[in-house]
Amino acid sequence: MVKRLETYEDWKTCITVDCGIPLTRAFCVERLAELRDAEAYPTLRFVNTWGDAHRRRVIEWFERAAAELSATEGVAGPRSA
């Protein structure tokens, strides 16, 4: 049985630990583009399986992850002289 993810922390653990997928900005941007395209076949399958409310929640989580990664890269990134 597949567990429905209810929190950002559960979702993030599912992607990074359970699935072993690195959560990068590029990955977030790619997934956001697909999930925002209501006509894309993977999005239609997602909505059919999990519902549109969950799709919107996952979009929010990808946006949050992308923002966190941007903030982290801004702090830890290379600095200009």
pLDDT at residue 80 tops 50: no
Tell me what the mean pLDDT of segment 1-18 comes to. 88
pLDDT at residue 76 tops 90: no
pLDDT band at 2 (very low <50, low <70, confident <90, very high): low
User: With contact defined as beta carbons under 8 Å apart, do 35 and 43 qualify?
Assistant: yes
Tell me what the mean pLDDT of segment 56-67 comes to. 97
